[in-house]
Amino acid sequence: MDLVPALEEPLKKVLGPPTAKVMAEHLGLHTVGDLLHHYPRRYEERGQLTHLADLPMDEHVTVVAQVADARLHTFASSKAPRGKGQRLEVTITDGSGRLQLVFFGNGVHKPHKELLPGTRAMFSGKVSLFNRRLQLAHPAYELLRSDTDETVETWAGALIPIYPATAKLESWKIGKAIQTVLPSAQEAVDPLPDSLREGRGLVPLPEALLKIHRPHTKADIEDARARLKWDEAFVLQVALARRRHADSQLPAVPRKPAPDGLLSAFDDRLPFTLTEGQLKVSKEIFDDLATSHPMHRLLQGEVGSGKTMVALRAMLAVVDAGGQAAMLAPTEVLAQQHHRSVVEMMGNLAEGGMLGGVEDATKVVLLTGSMGAAGRRQALLDLVTGEAGIVIGTHALIEDKVQFHDLGLVVVDEQHRFGVEQRDALRGKGKQPPHLLVMTATPIPRTVAMTVFGDLETSVLDQLPAGRSPIASHVVPAADKPHFLARAWDRVREEVEGGHQAYVVCPRIGDEEDDPRKARKKTPEDEAEKRPPLAVLEVADQLARGPLQGLRIEVLHGRMPPDDKDAVMRRFAAGDTDVLVATTVIEVGVNVPNATAMVIMDADRFGVSQLHQLRGRVGRGSAPGLCLLVSEMSEASPARRRLDAVAATLDGFELSRIDLEQRREGDVLGQAQSGVRSSLRVLAVIEDEEIIAEARQEAAAIVAADPELTGLPGLRTALDALVDQEREQYLEKG
C-alpha cells in the first residue's frame, strides 16, 4: 500500500515511546496521520471563558479560568497526626461561576507558588462533588503567560483547541504533540477528486488539517470542518458504493413465483386484506427477486406493521420458483416464535410430504443450537434433499454442517444483531449467491440508514394493519409519587380481571451476583441511586407476595434452558399465565394479542429504541394497550426527559431522531455498528443529512465510472486506511 510515508510514521519515533504508548492505549492513535485526524472537540477564546456553571459531573473537563483566591490549610490526619497535613484550596472563576480546586500533601508546593490570585491558566481534571460543591481534585494545569514571544503567538487572541483527552493525557499535551507533527500535514494526499472539491468550494486537505488544529479565526474552523465532514461522508460512502457495486456484479437465479402456486394458495386463504404499504413493499421485493443479480434490501417497519407477513410472502414466492428460503433470527425464543407463527399462518400448506398436506405444500423446519440430535438430523436431511422449502433458525444455520438443496433467499430478522460476515457465510450456502432481505423494527432515520446500512436498498412499512389498537403510555415517577406505583399494579390487576394478560419488564435477571466475575460495572446513575437495577427474580417474588398476590405469575429470561423458555412462552400465549415477568428477551417479535398491559421497571435504564420495541408487544389485538414506564429519576433529569419523549409519541421514526440527538454520535453508529476509532469525528448524522445524501450520489457516480478507482490514488489510499482499520469493526456490522 503506497501510503504517504510522513503520515505513516509511528508516533513512537516522533514523540518518544512514553507519550506514544499513552496515545495508543487510551486514544487508539498510532501514526502521525492518526494524530492529525484527532480533531479538537471545541475551542476556547482568550476573552470568552468556559461556563463553569455548566460543568458535567464525573466527566473529564478542560477549563480556562482565572485564580480568584488560594488558601493553604493545615490539618491532622492519620498520615500527619501532628497537624502537619496540608491542603491547598484554590478558587477559580470565569464570570459565570466558581470552581474549587484541591491539592493535598506534597502536591501543594508547586501550585501554591504558581497559582496566585489573578493568574490565568488552563485546568484539566475530573469534576466531582464535595460538600455539595463542584471541585477538581489535583487537576493538571498549564499557565497562560504572555511574557514570551512564543506564548504570545500561541495564546494571545488565538483560539485554543480543546482536544478529546483522557486522565493520562491532558488536552494541551495533545495540542503540543500535534504542533510537533503539524508540518507533515503538507504531505497529506487528498482523497477527494479535484473536480468534486473545486465544484463544492472545499479547501485542500493539508489546509483543512492546518486550520482545524491552528485556526486564526472562526471562519478557519468552519472551512476546515466543512472539508473534513466531506472526507468522512465521502470515503465511507465510496466504501459502501463499492460493496453495492461488487454485489450487483454477482450472478443470482431469478425467482419468479408460479402463477397458481404456493403464494396464490396462501394469499387466497388470508382472512384479511394486506395493507397498501405491504402490497407496495412486496412489489419492490418481487421485482428484485425476478432479476439475475442478488437482491439486497432493508425492510424497515414499525413494531407490528406486518413485516413478517411481507417476508413470508417473499419466502413463498421463492419456494414457488423451486428454491429454498432461510430466515435467521437473533434468539432461540424468536426463532421458535417465528416458526410457530409461520406454520399457523400457512396451515396445511406447511405440511409438505405429510398426510393432510395439500398439493403445493412445502415443509417448514426449525433449526436451533439446542435441538436434540434426532430432530436436528431430520431437519438437516430435509434441507439437503429440498424437502423443506422454508427453514427458520438462529445462527446455528450458518454452521458448516448445514447444507441446502437450492438456497434462494435469506431473510435476516433484526439486522443489527448480525454482521456481514454472518450474512456472507449464509449466502455462501447457495449454489449462486441467494437474494437477501434484512428486516428491522428499529426505525432508522434516513441518513443513518445511508451510513450504517449503505450497502442495502431500503423499503419502509409505516402503516399499521387494521385492527391494531392504540397504546397509551405514561411515566410513573416511583420516587416522587409512590402511590402512582401502587396504582400501576392496580391497573395490571384490572387488565387481568378483564380477561387480559400483562408483561413486567426488568433490566436484570437477578442471579448474576453469585458470580463475582460477573459483577456489573457500576454506572454513575447506579452510584447516584446506590442500588443495582431491579431484577426479574426479585420483582416476581415481591409481586407474588404483594400487589399481585393470587395471580398466575411466571418468569422468562435469557439464561433459562431453551425448552423451559419455550414452555413459558407457550403457556403465556395460551392464556395460562396472567403476568410474565421478563428481561428484554421479549423485546423482539413476541406476539400475544391478549397481552394488553406492560410495566417497565427502571425504564430509565433502557434506550429509547428499546423502550419503543418493548412497548410494541402490547396492543397487538383488538383491546387498547397500556405501557407504564416506572422510574425513580427526578423530573429534571435527562433520563426522565427521555421517558417523557417516549410516552409522548408512538412514532418510531420521531423517537429514533430524539434518540440520535440525545446520544453521542459515536454511540449512534454504536458498539454494534462502529469500532472505537471509526465513530464519526466531525460528521453529525442528523445535522449533516444533506452532505451524506450528496456524498452518496457522488460516490455512486465515481464507483460506476471507475470501480477500481484507478484514476484516484488519493481516494484509494484513504479507502484502504478506512477498510483496513474497520474491516472487522465497521462494514461487517453495517
pLDDT, mean of residues 42-61 = 65
> Taking Cα atoms as reference points, which of 473, 507, 443 lies closest to residue 645?
473
Average pLDDT over residues 563-583: 89
Residue at grid coordinates 402490497? 279
Averaged over 534-554, what is the pLDDT? 90
3-state secondary structure of 403: coil
Q: How confident is the model at residue 502 (pLDDT cuts 50, 70, 90)?
A: very high
Length of the chain: 734
- In the structure grid, which three cell numbers stand for residue 627, read together? 405501557
pLDDT surpasses 90 at 282: yes
Distance CA 150, CA 230 (A): 34
**R_g of the chain, CA atoms, integer Å:** 30
At 635, give phi and psi (nearest 5°): -60, -30
Query: What is the DSSP code (8-state) at residue 729?
Result: I
pLDDT at 551: 93
CB distance 700 to 196 below 8 Å? no
Backbone angles phi and psi of 468, in degrees to 5: -75, 140
Q: What is the pLDDT of residues 335-363, one digit of tens each?
A: 888 898 899 889 888 887 665 556 778 99
Task: Assess whether pLDDT exceeds 60 at residue 516.
Answer: no
Q: Indicate the average pLDDT of the chain.
A: 81
Q: Give all strands (DSSP E) within 33-183, no chain letters.
A: 42-45, 60-75, 85-93, 98-104, 120-130, 133-137, 140-143, 159-162
Torsion of CA 216, 221, 223, 224, to 10 degrees: 110
What's the predicted TM-score (pTM) here? 0.65
Calculate what percentage of the chain has a pLDDT beyond 90: 27
pLDDT in tens, 662-694: 654 444 333 333 333 344 677 776 677 788 889
pLDDT for position 668: 38
Q: Residue 49: pLDDT above 60?
A: no
List, as one string, the DSSP characters of 427-483.
HTTSSSPPEEEEEESS---HHHHHHHSTTSEEEEE-PPPTTPPPEEEEEEETTT-HH
Classify burial at 54, counting beta carbons within 10 Å of its beta carbon; exposed 0-12, middle 13-18, buried 19 or more. exposed
